[in-house]
Every structure is written in structure tokens, then in C-alpha cells.
Structure 1
Amino acid sequence: MSKRKIVITKNLHVDLVRQIEEIVPNWEVIIGKDKEVWGGSHINDAEIIVGYQFSLDTFANLKWVQSSSAGINHFPIKQFIENDILLTSANGVHAYPISETIFAYLLSLTRKLNTYVKNQQAKVWHHGGIKQEIHKKTIGIIGVGAIGKETAKIAKAFGMKVLGVRYSGLPVQHVDEMYTPNQLHLVLPQCDYVVVTLPLTKETYHLFSEEQFKQMKPTAFFINVGRGSLVNEEKLVRALQEGEIAGAGLDVFEQEPLDVKSPLWNMDNVIITPHTAGSTEYYNQRVIEEIFIPNLKGYLAGNKPSINLVDYSKGY
């Protein structure tokens, strides 16, 4: 009888490999980033897969996928549903790096560090018209999950007023006022900074378009670290060009890589990062130790994974 199999399509530190193998001593564990390591029969025979991008010829053996990303839109969800395959995400592992990136945007745009970097490269000594500061301002966090909660916590260190938007509308520590998505129009006019950390679903597609940018202050900055398609990019470009908002920090885009012809590249009031806000030296460790291993122990005991189990009806 062949052994049950786990395929992990990432390179892992030896300590993480050891932890997994100790839990499943009688399983075959295939680990490696290169497709040559896990492709072919290995991926198709696997009962459990940990990874991000892979393709299967059959779903007959697969029972559970642990995504190595927070997003799940790239997976064949229809086939997963039809074959009763469980899916868990990597939500939560990004809270520190993405919240740090959010404040890197906020500080850079507010204190014009992006302008000064360009001036330095051109050897130009110029004031740049700097005058704004973050302290005591209002930040709206659209999507108060793990990232939003950490962002709210940091915002309080700057004495900021924190407004939050979440589906439940339930209160969260460090958030002064909580709203539901249908109250977004009440939140945007109040904000000096709008930070979007939502997942992409049918309901959130192009949540930010012309109407929403018109509701924002002309002095407000827009930050998107969720998914590119949360935003109608054409309307965002227009809002920036016409001064409806002051600037933007963008890590995600409707098309990635961002088209070289996009006007966003040449805007002085825009900071672009290539979908790297969640990158961290601790990424694999958090996915394996904080999500996969606890879920694996439960799975071996006959239970469904309890951490980050995706609800297919909600899309996250």
C-alpha cells in the first residue's frame, strides 16, 4: 500500500521540515520550489498540498490545500468545491510586514520622502513644499482583519483617529468607530488616509471607483494593499490627475506586472511597489508553524482545519 503524501511547493528550512516529518512519520513528504521536485506523479498523488501555483491532472487524491498566499482567486475553486477539497489560506502571516509597508507609504507621502529621493538622484536641493504630518489625523481602514488590526494599533501611536469597515460591524480594539460596507460613503469624507486591505470577491470588485474617489478629501491619500481589482484603475488615475485625492501608495494592480504605459508610473504623488508588501524573512515560518502544523494535527485527528478555512460561499 502506497504511503499518504504531502507535497510542499516551497523550499523550507531544515527545522521546519523536521517539524512536519515528526508529525507524519509514515507519510511521504515531498518538498521543493522547483517543479522538477514535486511535478508529475507526486503532485497528482498528493493528499495534501502546500503552495501557491500548481496544476493537477486529477483531483481524485487531493483532500486539502494550504495556500501559501492570503488570496485564493488563482485556485480552481469550482473543482475544489465539486471534489470536496478543503482550502486554507495564509491570512495573518502578513500583518507585520504589510502594516509596516502601509506606514512606509503614509510617512513617505506625507513627509514627501518620495520627492526627496528623486531630488537626491537629480542632485536638486529643494524644499518640496512639505507641510503635512500624520499625528492626530484620521485613518480609515477598509477591511479590519489581521492586517487592519495591526495597522490600527500602529495608528494609535501617532494619536490618529481610526475608522474601520468590516462586514460584521463589530468593534475592534484600537478602532474608534466601526462601520459596515454599506456605510462606506460615511467613512470616506472623514478620512485623511484611506487604507484598503480587503480580499477580492464579487462584492468587492471595483469597490473603489469614481463615486468613492469623489467622496474623499482632496488632501487625502489612498493606499491599496488588498487586490488590484478592488479598484477601478482608470478612475483612480483620473482622480489623481484631477486632484480629487492627494496621492496613492499602491502595491497591487488590476494587471500585474503594471503595464509600462500606465500613467501611474510617472506620477510624482504615487508610490508603486510590485506586490511585495507582504514579503518578510519570516513568511515560510509563519505559514508552517502558525497555520499548517496546527491544522495538520487537527486533520490527522479527523477534524477539519480550524485556522483560515476558506468559506467558498463568501470567497475568503
Structure 2
Amino acid sequence: MLTASTPRWSIDEVAAIYRTPVLELLLRAAEVHRRHHDPGEIQVCRLLSIKTGGCPEDCAYCPQSAHHKAAVESEPLMDVDAVVAEAERARRDGATRFCMGAAWREAKDDARFEQVLEMIRRIKAIGGLEVCTTLGMLTADQARRLKEAGLDAYNHNLDTSESFYGRIISTRTYEDRLDTLRHVREAGVSVCCGGILGMGESEGDRIALLHTLANLPEPPESVPINALVPVEGTPLAGRSRVDVWAMVRAIATARILMPTSMVRLSAGRLELSEAEQALCFLAGANSIFAGEKLLTTPNPEVDADRLLFERLGLRAREASPR
């Protein structure tokens, strides 16, 4: 069993990969990608906010926090039928993974959690869709119940390095996040866990985040790499756009460290040109989120993505047989 004393990768090894001259890094990552994945295939995912705003967490990047003054209206948990209809639409648009996010600090054992379980059961019955949720912190029993309902994956990002984490969030600890990841893994649910670039962290923080992810007892099957989308009314509203080369380096390093994982080009994609997105795909990203929104922030339209795929000679991953 992997322990803290037997990491797969040392911090120096991760740093050396991340700091490789960028063209060489791209080449190495592309070679790893081709050994483990079809380089012409991209998984299309859809992310829906099923409960928006009013979150008691104080994450500095998030417009859904009740601590901030962003122009996000709080909305109650969506009706099950409405969520299932969105999942069906996503399936028709070519998505093979449907993700549901609720602005909760933690899941509660109440009627709303039962409602989420019913959403999962109903969406799995559609066929052809992986189902992922992000509901905040989970207990071991909640993770087990999500698995029993048919949940494929659970998203719970570490966001940044442990040393920088306290600059971004004070309402829960890094260890809290690791505990939820452990509960999810022990329940037999696939782990989706990544981070956000551009929050004011150093290069060393980015390296440390990737080091932590790669050295979890089992690496995440899904690693979303997000660029900060600064939102007016949040503490990070004034941050400038993260450099595309930082995104490319993070994606390429993640691909080399976690060769079999899906590396997801996530938030901030609207700010990337087609050429910049192509670099990210070359670096090993093999999944995107489609649709007009990622929770509450803008995202490229489905038709724009179809055109991008055409230009690059990419195709959307097809649904697995039921």
C-alpha cells in the first residue's frame, strides 16, 4: 500500500518535469498521451448547477459564496424532472458525462440529499451518461449511498497547494478535503480532483498541487485543470488572466504524472483562443465541458466546440454501450 514515505513522485521530480523547456515538455506529454489514450478523441462533459448560491464557504474565487457580493442569485435545489431533462439534452448534444454541482459546504442527511440520489438513479436510467456530482464534504455513509444510487464519479478539488490553501479558503481545511476524497475512494466511486490556476499562487504552489494529486493513494481518474475566472464581487475579481503557458505546463505535467487519468480542460476555456486550446489538447487534455455555463461562469457554446473539433480533426468520445 502506498504510504506518505513511499511517494510515486518526489517533489523534485515533479518540479523538473514542470520546468522542462516547454516544447520538449509538450513532446514528452504528447508521447505519454498517445500510449494511453486515443489522441483524436475528446470526452465532452456537461456541468449543471442544481443548487446555486448562498454557500457558507468563503472560497475567494467563488461567486456562489454567501460571504461575497457577486451578482449571483441564490436558488433552491432544482426539481428532479428538470435536472433529468437537462441530462437528456446534454446527451443529445453529445455529452457522455453529466456533472451536477450544489453550492453546499457539505451534504446533509435530509430530503435534499434523497432528491440528489433520485436524480442520479433517473439519469443513469437514460443510458450513455457517466454521472458525477460535487456536493461539498461527504461522510463515508453518504459516499456509500451515492455509489448505491449509481454515481460514477465525485468531484472534490484540492484547488491549490496545501501551503497556499489558507490564503484562499478559511472555512474548511485541506485535511477536510482529503478526508472526503478518502470516503469517495473507499466507497468505490471514481475520484475527480484538480485545481485552479491564476489565484495568486506561485509556480511552486502549482508544482506542489500536482505532486499531491499524483501521490494520492490512487491518482484521480479525472483531473480538471481550471483557469481562474475573476468575478466581480469576489476577493479575486482583480486578478489578471493566467498565462496560457502555465495552463499548458500544468496539463502536460499532469498527463506525465497521471498517464491514464482524464485531464479536463475546465473553467476559463472561454478566454483561450482556438490555438491555445489546441496546445492544451496537444499537452494531454482529453476532456472539455460544453454548454453555455460552468455552474455560474460563461463557457463556449456547443456549436463553437463542434467547429473547433472540425478544425482540429478531433471527435467527441462516443457513449459506452449500456
Tell me: higher relative CO, structure 1 or 2? Use CA pairs within 8 A at least 6 residues apart. 2
Structure 1-normalised TM-score? Answer: 0.30
Look at both structures and tell me which one has the larger radius of gyration over its CA atoms: 1
Structure 2-normalised TM-score? Answer: 0.30
